[in-house]
Amino acid sequence: MAPLVSVIIPTYSSEKHVLSAVNSVLAQSMPDLEVIVIDDASTDKTAHLLAELDDDRLTVVRCDENLGPSAARNLGLAYARGTFVAFQDSDDIWTSMKLEKQIREYEREKGRDSTEIVVYSAAELIDEEGRNLGKWLWDPSFLKQGDIFQALLVRNFIACQSVLVKRHVIEEVGGFDPSMRYAEDYLLWLRLARRYRFCCILEPLVRYRVHSGSLTKARFPMRAGHVEALLKIGGELNDVGELNDAGERNKWKRQILARTAVAFLTPGDFAARSGLVRKVVRKIARNQGDI
């Protein structure tokens, strides 16, 4: 019998935290689930640690070469059998009632109309040792509900680890874009937000681990990834005629240029930052202003 929820966990050389991440899923108060761990060609003891876990709900898929987070999650989706899918990162922790509360919220919101719903939650920050830092990943005022597409254009306020969504909904928009190694989840949320309502549980159901030095190192690639996601979704909207209005097109360009400026001003490799600017300018200028 298929489980209610399939939880997909991509991991790469995460021996320090992977067991905490997986066990926080297996310990959910809602036990009707399967856990699919994609070991993305880890080079440390990750595979050995996972092999010691004894739970019939756990499936570990070992990759011979590193696929990257998008392709790894898509591989997990190919194995998934659940009605819903959720995503966990290999260094983060779920609270024990995360799925139970999200299923309950989905059923409550779905009762209002026939529109599909994506449920996500707030996330709180912990340090490398799991100590609570007393902060949320995003200020509660940033967490929007309903039609959130325009709000998402300004910032990505959705933690991938917090999302619960029907599997067929993810499949309808093509899953994660394997060409993106950063902000691949942001592009997926943008695609989903064009079609579906989002519901936010204003309670931190995810504990997001902050690693010393990691945020600074990844800041430019992540911001560049956000720009790439905006360019891709803009191209898709343009293809279906949703950017024909001059006002909408100009608003879109301003948003992309603003996010590009933020990325360019982020410390990092100058050639990469300059290349991003040139790419955006070319995209905007092409085809008489088409994105």
Same structural domain, 39 and 160:
yes
120, 204 Cβ separation under 8 angstroms = no
Same structural domain, 69 and 153:
yes
pLDDT at 167: 96
Same structural domain, 243 and 153:
no
pLDDT at 214: 53
Residue ranges of the chain whose pLDDT lies below 50: 216, 287-290
Same structural domain, 204 and 264:
no
Threshold 0.85, pTM exceeds: yes
* Burial class of residue 4 (count of CB atoms within 10 Å of its CB; 0-12, 13-18, 19+): middle
pLDDT at 212: 64
Same structural domain, 142 and 233:
no
Same structural domain, 72 and 178:
yes
pLDDT digits (tens, 9 = 90+) for 67-111: 999 999 999 999 999 999 999 999 999 999 999 999 999 999 987
182 residue type, one letter: Y
Which DSSP category does 113 fall into?
-
90 residue type, one letter: S
pLDDT at 242: 66
Same structural domain, 173 and 95:
yes
Q: Give Cβ neighbours of residue 131 (< 8 Å, ≥ 6 apart).
A: none
If one counts the domains in the chain, the total is: 2
Same structural domain, 46 and 169:
yes
Residues, the chain, total?
Answer: 291
Domain end position, chosen among 161, 193, 209 = 209
Same structural domain, 90 and 228:
no
Same structural domain, 249 and 109:
no
Q: Is 249 helix (H, G, I), strand (E, B) or coil?
A: helix
pLDDT at 1: 84
Same structural domain, 202 and 174:
yes
Rounded CA separation 257/252 (Å)? 9
Domain end position, chosen among 209, 242, 260 = 209
What domain range is 14 assigned to?
5-209
pLDDT at 269: 86
What b-and-e string marks burial along 85-124, b requiring 16 or more CB atoms within 10 Å of the CB? bbbbbbbbbbbeebbebbbebbeebbeeeeebbbbbbbbb
Q: What is the CATH number of the domain that holds 133?
A: 3.90.550.10
Token couple for 260: 């590009």
89, 160 Cβ separation under 8 angstroms = yes
Domain end position, chosen among 209, 233, 250 = 209
